[in-house]
Structure 1
Amino acid sequence: MAEIEEKEKRKHNTPIFAHRLDAGRQLGEELRLRGYGDKPAVVIAIPRGGVPVGHAVSQIIDARLEIIIPRKLPTPGNPEVGFGAITSDGTMVLNMPQIEEQQLGVDDIKRVAMETLGEVRRQMRTFCGHCFSLNLTGQTIILVDDGLASGFTMLAAVQAIRRYRPARLIVAVPASTFTSIDRLKSQVDELIYLSEWDDLSFTVADCYQEFDTLTDDEVRSFLSDTQIQEPQ
């Protein structure tokens, strides 16, 4: 079972971060205080929103920044609701209660999985050169996103990274629901979050005063470590 570290263990209902860079800096400081700046690590962020968070974290703990691209599997007819997630190597996790509730058949699942996998691989080409390397064996990996709602997207990333046998696998996020904490804590070596939220009607945007949609160019700027403009 993972060691769980949280800066604030309380329920929130108002934004607590100015923007993603602010959240990343706070998360980076928490990681630094826990000694991650003193040992080599690789920060792997989930685009798009996790990239500015991961950028700030990597700057503070002096770590390499890479990405992994998991994608929610959208429910047919109700795409805002996911029934699992898939990564570029085909690693897939399924939300069986959601599948049963939506009465999805095997053919539905396969079709959506193949369509989503194609989208993931197209996005990988967009960010070519920044996706995580295959040489992760024996390394400390810190998976970062801008927040966890259901946790299935992060779980797919965790399972994909596990295949490369890292020495330690940490998930670090600014905010998480209680359900995501329960879903992930047994899957990683350490789960670090700055705040926890009730699941009811939660969206990651609830954590932030500013929650703009990032463009591909903005994501590439963070990954290329160009000068990042502070949100106004």
Structure 2
Amino acid sequence: MTTYRDRPDATTYRDRADAGNTLADRLGGLTGQTDVIVLGLVRGGVPVARVIADRLGVPLDVLVVRKLGMPWAPEVAFGALGPGGVRVLNDPIASRLAPDDVAEVTRREQAELDRREKLYRAGRPPLDLTGRTAVVVDDGLATGATARAAVQVARHLGARRVVVAVPVGSEEAYEMLAAEADQVVCAQRPPDFSAVSRYYDDFHEVDDDEVTGALATTS
């Protein structure tokens, strides 16, 4: 496994496009490679991925993965879901929940995953990564559960190599992904990491229209 670390002192991005440009600078070795595809994690990863794909001159697609959040604290993930029946659980956290709670959250998030897959893949074939280098992009890593699920989904879909690229992340999530992905490009890992939003001036909620707009410009 290879990893990349830069900018040890925490800095703030103007917005997700600014973060995408920072990552594109570090992914320049992939420019124009015919087997590379950039996959934005919905929703926040898609605007970052759009910039990277444009800069590298490679295709953009979307990878739908849903975080499974604690019922009383949705931002705390106990796992994640991806297409193709992939489920990843953070066992130390998931073990605090009753089986019925796990089942209810899973049912709700599965329904939303199915809705988004239908919306974002409208008119396009199912994602096929056979023999390709998949660059999985998000706007940041907190627990890393969603990105971990994305890596497993990408491999399930046939990816030959999986690269995770994020502008900022926690040390714990970074180390977990370094053991899962073939390469992790993380522009900064602040020692006092608390929340992804802390490292953006503009961290607005990305809606479906913004995602579909970014995908509509994909060649």
Provide TM-score, normalisation by structure 2: 0.92
Is 1:205 the equivalent of 2:197?
Answer: yes
CA shift in 2, pair 1:137/1:68, >3 Å: same
Q: In 2, Cα distance between the equivalents of 1:119 and 1:80?
A: 16
> 1:187: how far off?
0.8
Residue 81 of structure 1 aligns to a residue whose secondary structure is strand
Say which of 43, 47, 61 aligns to 1:52: 47
Letter in 2 for 1:209: D
Q: In 2, Cα distance between the equivalents of 1:168 and 1:125?
A: 26
> 1:6: how far off?
2.1
Is 1:37 the equivalent of 2:31?
Answer: yes
> 1:11: how far off?
4.5
Q: In 2, Cα distance between the equivalents of 1:58 and 1:38?
A: 10
Letter in 1 for 2:23: L
Identity %: 33
What's 2:107 paired with? 114
> 1:213: how far off?
1.4
Q: In 2, Cα distance between the equivalents of 1:211 and 1:54?
A: 15
5+ residue gaps, structure 2, are: none
Is 1:95 the equivalent of 2:94?
Answer: no
Residue 108 of structure 2 aligns to a residue whose secondary structure is helix
Residue 169 of structure 1 aligns to a residue whose secondary structure is strand
5+ residue gaps, structure 1, are: 227-232
What's 1:74 paired with? 69
Q: RMSD across aligned C-alpha pairs, in angstroms? A: 1.9
Q: Deviations over 1:117-168 (max 9, x none)?
A: 1111112222133878442111111000001011001101111111123121
Q: How many residues in Structure 1 have an aligned counterpart in Structure 2? A: 217
Q: Deviations over 1:163-215 (max 9, x none)?
A: 12312110011111101111110111111111112365x11111111111122
CA shift in 2, pair 1:6/1:129, >3 Å: farther
**Preserved CA contact (<8 Å) 1:71 1:120:** yes
What's 2:6 paired with? 7
> 1:109: how far off?
1.5
What's 1:22 paired with? 18
Say which of 113, 117, 140 aligns to 2:133: 140
Q: In 2, Cα distance between the equivalents of 1:48 and 1:123?
A: 10
> 1:38: how far off?
4.0
Provide TM-score, normalisation by structure 1: 0.87
Q: Deviations over 1:1-54 (max 9, x none)?
A: x2001232x242xx521110011011112101xx10041210001111111100
